[in-house]
Structure 1
Amino acid sequence: MTESPDGGALDGNALDGNALAGPLAAVYAFDVTRALARCAHCGDVSVVACAVVFVTAMGTVARCRECGEVLLVVVGTPTGTSVAARGVAWVRA
């Protein structure tokens, strides 16, 4: 079982990065799940679809598959969709 950054086991609610396709389609004009991204924390480079994703009522959180740090957070509101991607060093479509 994969561990979270704090050393605890991740629960069974984790999805892969393909769960980001819908929320990110509202912001980007390309399929972000097929893009390469570099983790700003550990340097891992992989397609966004490989991220570990958690979908909650408050938003969607994508974590690095290697180090478990937060890559990005997607929040939908009545007025639009916001993306915070502080954990991503770069994205290549």
Structure 2
Amino acid sequence: MKLTRKDVAQRIIDYLHHRITLAELVDWAENIMMEADFENHDFETLRDIVSRLGLADVKAFGMSWEDCEYFLSRLGYQAQVIVRDSATMASAEN
């Protein structure tokens, strides 16, 4: 299976939306580094990002919001944060 920009971006997005844990993201990245066939025209970008994701649980490396934003940018995506007042949302639901 060819690993694409979309595949890697979706994993980062899943992590940012708390659909997967950091440990799951790291495990995925470590497995991908050993098994995946990166798309040829994006090889360096994909390899660089996936290898960095595989180190995200190491204290010396870690992974910040800015890192995720940068990775997504390199993959052709733009990250945005939306902050809502949870009290207002709760009263609107009632």
Q: Give the TM-score normalised by structure 2.
A: 0.26
Larger Rg: 2
Greater fraction of residues in strand: 1
State the TM-score, normalizing by the size of structure 1. 0.26
User: RCO (CA 8 Å, sep 6+): is it higher in 1 or 2?
Assistant: 2
Whose helix fraction is larger, Structure 1's or Structure 2's?
2
